Amino acid sequence: MSVNNVNSISTENLNTIKSKASEITSSSEASIWNEYKQYDVNGNGSIADDIDAMSESDLHSLGKKMGIVSDGVVGDTKQSETTGDCYLLSGINALSETSWGKEAIDEAIEPDGSGGYNVKFYNADGEQETINITADELSANPEKYSSGDVDMKIIEVAAEKFYAAHADEEAYSYKDKNDPLTQGLMEGKTSIIYMLTGSEGHVLQSSKLDENIPPEALSSDRAKLTEASLTEQLLNIAANPDGYASMCSFKKPGFFKRLFGGSKVIPDHGYSISSVVQNNNGGIEAVVLKNPWDSSQEIIMPFDEFQSQVTYFVSHNQNDIF
């Protein structure tokens, strides 16, 4: 996405910027005010009263810093409590851990000049399509989509529209036509990483495949998850962390119940892998994860516990794309 491609600020975005700006003054926490005081043109310790006088470029700059206007980079987000799209959010979070993934996200999103965005996805035939998201579509049903960063929400809304458009095709037939965003895969041609990069992913799985998922939706590179195969993949990530966008899910919620509490954690929930920590002997000490419920938190999971609980591991390799 070109940083010089300045489109008009939608009314919804402008109102959100004004609302957030009213909360930022010189009496705010020093680190916050230092981030925004450049926009205090009249020097009175507030930026809210400067909004209406700002140029289009300055409004975009402020909106990007606040996570309201797209900057092509996915920041911290929280999954909606009403939509089961952890597979998608975890895929985007995993991509965001890598330089090539960030590039793919940035290149996929373009302002449309009318307050909305065009998003480019690969379909199951390997052809790129463009999905347009209007400003009204982006602001509708806020409780349905993630919060915290507009780029994640742009991809979510576009993916939902894309899945709905392809609902009658075999690869997407396992999805609920009435709720195409909920339920999906972190692998194969319906995964968000494939849609953005063309990579189907390398899969290790110990649990039985869902018989309702058509072969066309699954990655062709599949293997049994064993101690040896998992260790090999994790050591590859440790050696070249920027080369892999990886995710996983678990058979039991116990570890995450201790971290998050309550019954929200479910066995089939998807997590992105931020990094792999090695010990002094070169073995694996821990795996660092992010939960799409709150991607600002990193979860350090000891390797022995990770190994005993993980049932599904997907890794997308930079070498498959470039």
What's the pTM value of the predicted model, to 2 decimals? Answer: 0.81
Weakest mean pLDDT among 145-159, 202-216, 257-271, 302-316: 257-271
Q: How many CB atoms lie within 10 A of CB 249?
A: 22
159, 306: one domain: yes
Q: What is the number of structural domains in the chain?
A: 2
261 located within any domain: yes
Question: Do 56 and 103 fall into the same domain?
Answer: no
On whether both 96 and 16 belong to a single domain, the answer is no
Query: Do 25 and 90 sit in the same domain of this protein?
Result: no
Whether 91 and 55 map to the same domain: the answer is no
Mean pLDDT of 6-33: 81
The answer to whether residue 70 sits within a structural domain is no
For position 252, what pLDDT does the model report?
Answer: 61
Strands of the chain (E only): list them.
109-111, 117-122, 128-133, 202-205, 221-224, 244-250, 271-278, 284-290, 299-302, 310-317
Per-residue pLDDT tens digits for 193-219:
999 999 999 999 997 777 789 999 999
* 3-state class (DSSP) for residue 253: coil
In a domain, 263, yes or no: yes
Please compute the mean of the pLDDT values over residues 68-81 and round it to a whole number. 83
Q: Are residues 201 and 235 in the same domain?
A: yes
Give the mean pLDDT of 164-176.
95
User: Within this chain, do residues 96 and 216 fall inside the same structural domain, yes or no?
Assistant: yes
Same domain, 117 and 250: yes
Q: At residue 6, does pLDDT exceed 60?
A: no
Is residue 257's pLDDT more than 70? no
| Claim to verify: residue 93 and residue 60 sit in the same structural domain | no
pLDDT tens-digit map of 122-155? 999 999 999 999 988 988 999 999 998 899 999 9
Nearest Cα neighbor of 10 from 54, 63, 73, 48 is 63
User: Where in the sequence is the domain holding 94, given as residue range(s)?
Assistant: 86-320
Residue 74 falls inside a structural domain: no
Q: What sign for the dihedral angle of Cα 37, 43, 46, 49? A: negative
Computed over its alpha carbons, how large is the radius of gyration of the chain? 21
| Average pLDDT of the chain, as a whole number | 88
pLDDT given at position 253: 53
Residue 222 resides in a domain:
yes
Select the more confidently predicted residue: 209 or 295.
295
CA 231/CA 219 separation, integer angstroms: 20
Output the pLDDT for position 122.
97
